[in-house]
Each structure stands twice: as structure tokens, then as C-alpha cells.
Structure 1
Amino acid sequence: MRGYHYCQFCLAAVEPQHAIRADMRLRKSPDVARGNGEIWLTGVDGTNFAAPALIGHYVEEHHYLPPDGFIEAVRTGVPTPGVA
């Protein structure tokens, strides 16, 4: 992945970003969670799941409930084919 992603739910609750140097498009970084990738999981039935690296944050802070198959894949830890 290139760069990172701010939690859009946290961003909605903080003050808007302001420019540090407008000529360089530099902005002050908000103090919110950010992620920079995906996690991949495989369920026991072979279903492949992809989730943003921030999924733990979404569950803990924003009460997101992933699908049952995803939760089971987290619990079982089946290796995802082709991922080292």
C-alpha cells in the first residue's frame, strides 16, 4: 500500500485539517487512527476475506461487527493460500 488511510468515522468527530504550507499542500495530521494495508483471512470453508488493517479499531471504537464467517476465520487461523 502507498500511504495510509485515516479512520473516516474519527475524522468526522475532529476539527477540520488546516494547511501548514498551502503552496506544498501540506496539512496538519489529525490525531485519529490510521491504517496502511489489508489483512487477509481464509475461512474453514475456503472463503477468502480481506479487511482493512483498521478493522480492530472499527470493532473496538465504532462497534462494527464483522460477518460471522470473518470472525470464525480469525478464531481458526486457517492459512490463506498464496500468502507467505
Structure 2
Amino acid sequence: MTYFPDLSLYEYEPSERVMLNIGWLSIEHEYPKGLVADVVVDALKILCAHPENQMRGYHQCEFCHALAPSVSGGGDGTRELVLGSAEVHIEGAGKTVYAAPNLVLHYILEHDYCPPREFCQAAVHAVGQESHDELTVLE
């Protein structure tokens, strides 16, 4: 997978919308680590059930070599979400749109990735959850 720094302009696929990158991680680059609130993880489990830019094939996680890791998600938490072949696009404050590989959920759960606060807030807001002051805690 291609590496892009968090909050850089999205250029992976052509898009009519201006978007910012989140979670395009690589083993060759450091990334922020910390705890992410359950409400953010739960929101991403819902959002990842509605992928954007679905690709053929799967990206293998560079950190643990998992191919197509899966988690339970969706609105009721029972849908198997296979990660590594699509993106999630989330509109945040001021019409900012964030584009993340759906592996962002795996990175958070398995590799302690801590996305930017504004992305976490946008995810929680997108699924209609209450905003929380403590969405992420950097280590």
C-alpha cells in the first residue's frame, strides 16, 4: 500500500472532492500511537461496512502480515468486515472529507495507531454518536 502522511491531500484515486489522507501507514514510517476510545472504534466498525473505492484483491498488513483481516461490525455488530481492499470516506467539520484505507480499523485495534483527533470526531459524528472530549490518548 502507498504511504501518505496523515492530513496530506488525498491523491490515491481520482476524486471530485478534496480529501485528506488518514491511516495510510507503512512499516518504513513512524506513526502516532495511543489509545482510541471505544466510541471511535464502534463508529469505524459501522462506517467500514459501507466501503468506498472497493478494489479487487487485498493488501497485506505490513506490520503483522495479516492478509484480509476481519472484524465484526456493521450497524448491529454482526457483519464480518474483511479489511484491506477498500477505503472509508468520512465528512468532518467544515466539509472536510477524510479518506482512509479500511485497514485503519485493523491498525487501531492491532497496532495501536492513533488517528488525528479531527478524524475521530468526524467518525463519531458521522454515525450520530455523542461527541466525547477524550476520543484519543497519545502515549
Q: TM-score surpassing 0.5?
A: yes
Asked if residue 3 in structure 1 is aligned to residue 52 in structure 2, the reply is no
Structure 2 residue ranges without an equivalent (≥5):
1-54, 69-83, 128-139
Moved over 3 A (4+): none
Q: 2:97 aligns with which of 26, 48, 69?
A: 48
Identity, % of aligned pairs?
45
CA RMSD of aligned residues (A): 1.4
The match for 2:9 is none
Deviation at residue 33 of structure 1 after TM alignment: 4.3
Q: TM-score under structure 1 normalisation?
A: 0.63
Deviation at residue 8 of structure 1 after TM alignment: 0.7
- Structure 1 CA distance, aligned partners of 2:67 and 2:109? 12
Native 8 Å contact 2:58 2:67 kept in 1: no
Native 8 Å contact 1:33 1:57 kept in 2: no
Structure 1 residue ranges without an equivalent (≥5):
12-31, 79-84
Report which structure shows greater RCO (CA 8 Å, sep ≥6): 2
* Count of equivalent residues: 58
Q: TM-score under structure 2 normalisation?
A: 0.39
Greater helix share, structure number: 1
